[in-house]
């Protein structure tokens, strides 16, 4: 499998959020490779998006968001979970895509050991997938086309639905969440989400 190039991430952030669905995230660990298919993402934009961490300028925490496209942005949330993002668009603009859910593909036993829960619940949320994949603050600011943590291309062009983003108060009405409909690893698969609209890539 081929790694996704910088050009893939240089595109419009909403397009990248859609295009990442069906692609693969892989981590090479001493215990072996872990890999998952991306089934849910959210876009965070530089304009009119107060929910975006970059919206109030560059700080030590968010400076990775202002790096070149294809850089990872990993941060700690609620004091105990990490969230994994990919920087998108032109360097210095401060946009990114949050990866919210994966379908486990490889190293499932290892992921289950790290999460200690049922197979269905090991990677179906942004904090969960970081725990399962062994992603932490050491990965913040690293390029995702080289090193141990990689984003890999895939032929698949899955159907896509969009909805409002999850867990935010600011700009809560924006339709910037994208997911593969019917995939059981989507984070709110069992719940209902308002304002759904179906479209296909």
Q: Name the one range near DNA by CB under 7 A: 9-17, 24-32, 126-134, 146-154.
A: 126-134
Site for DNA in 81-110 (CB under 7 A): 81, 83, 85, 96, 98
Reference 6, options 100, 84, 62, 89; nearest CA is 89
Other beta carbons within 10 angstroms of residue 140's beta carbon come to: 21
Q: Does 163 bind DNA (CB under 7 A)?
A: no
Site for DNA in 170-189 (CB under 7 A): 170, 187
Nearer to DNA, 19 or 88 (CB): 88
Give the count of residues interacting with DNA (CB under 7 A): 40
Please, are residues 145 and 3 in contact by the beta-carbon 8 Å criterion? yes
Q: Write down the least CB distance from residue 155 to DNA, Å.
A: 27
Length, in residues, of the chain: 201
Reference 42, options 10, 88, 81; nearest CA is 88
The one among 5, 59, 136, 146 contacting DNA by CB under 7 A: 59
Nearer to DNA, 118 or 155 (CB): 118
Please, are residues 95 and 46 in contact by the beta-carbon 8 Å criterion? yes
Nearer to DNA, 19 or 187 (CB): 187
Nearer to DNA, 4 or 65 (CB): 65
Reference 27, options 107, 86, 98, 114; nearest CA is 107
Token output for 67: 């790096």
Q: Does 139 bind DNA (CB under 7 A)?
A: no
Please, are residues 145 and 152 in contact by the beta-carbon 8 Å criterion? no
Q: Does 136 bind DNA (CB under 7 A)?
A: no
């Amino acid at each position: 499998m081929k790694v996704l190039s910088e050009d893939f991430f240089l595109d419009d952030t909403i397009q990248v959020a859609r295009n990442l669905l069906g692609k693969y995230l892989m981590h090479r660990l001493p215990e072996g490779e872990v890999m998952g298919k991306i089934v849910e993402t959210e876009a965070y934009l530089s304009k009119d998006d107060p929910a975006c961490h970059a919206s109030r300028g560059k700080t030590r925490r968010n400076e990775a968001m202002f790096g070149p496209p294809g850089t990872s942005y990993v941060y700690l949330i609620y004091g105990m979970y990490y969230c994994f993002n990919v920087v998108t668009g032109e360097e210095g603009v401060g946009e990114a895509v949050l990866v919210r859910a994966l379908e486990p593909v490889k190293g499932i036993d290892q992921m289950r050991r790290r999460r200690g829960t049922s197979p269905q619940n090991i990677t179906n949320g942004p904090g969960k997938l970081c725990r399962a994949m062994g992603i932490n603050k050491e990965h913040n600011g690293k390029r995702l086309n080289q090193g141990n943590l990689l984003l890999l291309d895939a032929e698949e062009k899955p159907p896509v639905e969009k909805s409002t983003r999850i867990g935010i108060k600011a700009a809560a009405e924006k339709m910037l969440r994208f997911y593969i409909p019917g995939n059981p690893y989507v984070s709110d698969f069992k719940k209902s989400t308002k304002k759904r609209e179906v479209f296909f890539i």
